[in-house]
Amino acid sequence: MARILKEKDVREIIVGTTVLGGGGGGSIQGGLDLLEKYKETHKEEIEVNLINADEIKDGAYTAITAGMGSPLALRDKDFTPYVVNSYEALVDMAAKMSPPRDLECACAVEMGGFNTFVPMLIAIMKGIPFIDADGAGRAVPALDTLLLHVNGCDTSPLAMADHKNNRVMIELADKRDASEAENVGRNICVAFDMISGLSGWMLTKDEIKNNIANGTVSYAQKIGESIGKFDGTGNVFDFLASEGFNCKAAGSGEVTKVEAKIANGFDYGEVHIDGEGGEEIKILFQNENLVIFCNGEVVMTAPDIICVFDKETKIPLTNADVKEGQKVDVGLFKVDERWWKTGVKNVNNIWKTYFKNVDYAGDIISYK
């Protein structure tokens, strides 16, 4: 049911989507910085019209807008012009299609403190509804790992833009070739100094209802609200499980080593944590957390969600925020069931390339 989100709601969503981002999707600070930049020049109360897929007008299209590039490169940048320029480029493309398409709503490509707020900012600035859904149910490293792609939505056309309003329009021969879109888009992103606004997908009402994760914005807000009540006792993921969320604790301890590098528009690396019970936890990531080990044994992989939470600041962390010496909780969240619509074998084939990128040769191990 439609409801109006106020600033407090938006802040809770930024926290909750960072949890569900599983190490990616942009940090809490990135989302909050965008919010504060908007408030500097807009003194009216923050309001977002949140609607579910059933409330989208028949015949209307929904635009997805996101940030693309290295999370490390995004830090300390005002992303607002990238957001607006890529969205307006897509509006221009939609108007020239035959027949023309009206983009009447905004939606997130994924969960993340930054990437969920990016299209929410479009909704605020343009006065259009924001959809209670997202294109992944988590954050993902690449366009071909989106639930949008897994469940058969068109990737093309896409629009990319930088802060100078340099624009690139991408129209693929095969509209569903997300791998090619990733290849082209990633190279453009590198040319834009590792940061780009990205808009596309143009979803119908039925595509949102049937093919992507629904209710995730409201779910994320509930997580953010619960974290606001957490008193720091024990592992936050045990607390969230007691609040009714489908998650569990995987350990607590100190970050002893972070190995990270930027290459081809991605952050790659490992996070090592010495657990309070003597266990050794290792997380492999490509922007997002992809594989978690405990004492050398694989515990779980993407697409289920691996989360790290700072015990001192009481906020979830992306891999761009994790530092040696932090005291952290580690937790696991079950991903949206729509991930398994096409079968585990198909999903495994999609993730296999990204597992290989972080030197994991095994198959998907799901949340239990």
Q: What is the CATH number of the domain that holds 16?
A: 3.40.1610.10
Same domain, 205 and 305: no
Same domain, 99 and 177: yes
Residue 298 lies in a domain: yes
Q: What is the pLDDT of residue 69?
A: 74
Same domain, 277 and 153: no
Q: Which ranges of the chain have pLDDT less than 70? A: 1, 71-76, 264-265
SS3 (DSSP) at 62: strand
Same domain, 331 and 191: no
Same domain, 31 and 142: yes
SS3 (DSSP) at 73: helix
What is the count of structural domains for the chain?
A: 2
Q: Is the dihedral of CA 142, 144, 189, 12 positive or negative?
A: negative
Same domain, 137 and 276: no
**Residue 14 lies in domain:** 3-217
Q: What is the pLDDT of residue 16?
A: 98
CA 138 to mean position of chain CA atoms: 5
Angle at 64 between CA 62 and CA 70, to 5 degrees: 180
Q: What is the pLDDT of residue 1?
A: 67
Same domain, 153 and 18: yes
How many angstroms separate the first and last alpha carbons of the chain? 32
Q: What is the pLDDT of residue 347?
A: 95
Same domain, 14 and 136: yes
CA 113 to mean position of chain CA atoms: 7
* Residue in the block written with tokens 């969920």: 116
Residue 55 lies in a domain: yes
Domain boundary among 163, 184, 217: 217
Helix (H) or strand (E) holding 364: none
Distance in angstroms (rounded) separating the CA atoms of residues 314 and 227: 8
Which ranges in the chain belong to alpha helices (H)? 7-20, 28-41, 71-74, 80-95, 117-126, 147-150, 178-191, 205-211, 216-227, 236-242, 344-357
Q: What is the pLDDT of residue 43?
A: 85
Residue 16 lies in a domain: yes
Residue 60 lies in a domain: yes
Q: What is the pLDDT of residue 103?
A: 95
Q: What is the pLDDT of residue 266?
A: 76
